[in-house]
Amino acid sequence: MAHVISDECVSCGACEAECPVSAISQGADHYQIDADACVDCGACAAQCPTGAISQG
Ligand code: SF4
């Protein structure tokens, strides 16, 4: 499993630096998580101001 970023993302970038495996990057519409790289630690979800990140 991996965490996922929903359409509630406002592309603030707060989560990107928190990821220990650099799985988060800016996508076409909003930030996205590389499911193959994510280790499901949850560090990013705690930083999101809109609650857009959840366990997939
Ligand atoms: Fe990175 Fe952890 Fe978020 Fe997965 S859950 S994207 S490993 S910070």
pLDDT in tens, 2-45: 999 999 999 999 999 999 999 999 999 999 999 999 999 999 99
Does the global pTM surpass 0.85? yes
DSSP string, 1-56: --EEE-TT-----TTGGG-TT--EEE-SSSEEE-TTT-----TTGGG-TT--EEE-
User: How far is the C-alpha of 54 from the C-alpha of 56, rounded, in Å?
Assistant: 6
Residue 18 CA to residue 28 CA, distance in Å, equals: 21
List all residues whose CB is within 6 A of at least one atom of ligand 1: 3, 18-19, 21, 23-24, 33, 38-44
Res 1 pLDDT > 90: no
**By C-alpha distance, which of 1, 18, 2, 3 is closest to 53?**
3
From 41, 47, 55, mutation site for ligand 1 pocket: most ligand atoms within 8 A of C-beta: 41
